[in-house]
Amino acid sequence: VNARQAMPEGGELSIALDRVRVNDLECHLGTRISGDYVRLRVSDSGEGVEGANLPRIFDPF
């Protein structure tokens, strides 16, 4: 919904899924468990998010 609203004159919305393998080294640096994961990537050609709103982008509405 937000991507569509950010592109009132039209634009491009991309959604991609791919498989990734997280190894033990990557897990040591974070909190993930090694193994296979699915990565979801979403992007659009909209105007972007104002800097003041970035800290709240994952807040529920």
32's tokens: 């993930």
Mapping DSSP to helix (H, G, I), strand (E, B) and coil, where does residue 47 land? coil
Domain ranges of the chain: 2-47
Identity (one letter) of the amino acid at 54?
L
Q: What is the mean pLDDT of the chain?
A: 84
Any residues with CB less than 8 A from the CB of 38 and at least 6 apart, and which? 17, 18, 19, 20
When pLDDT is cut at 50, 70 and 90, the band that residue 24 belongs to is confident
Global model pTM greater than 0.85: no
**pLDDT score of 38 more than 90:** yes
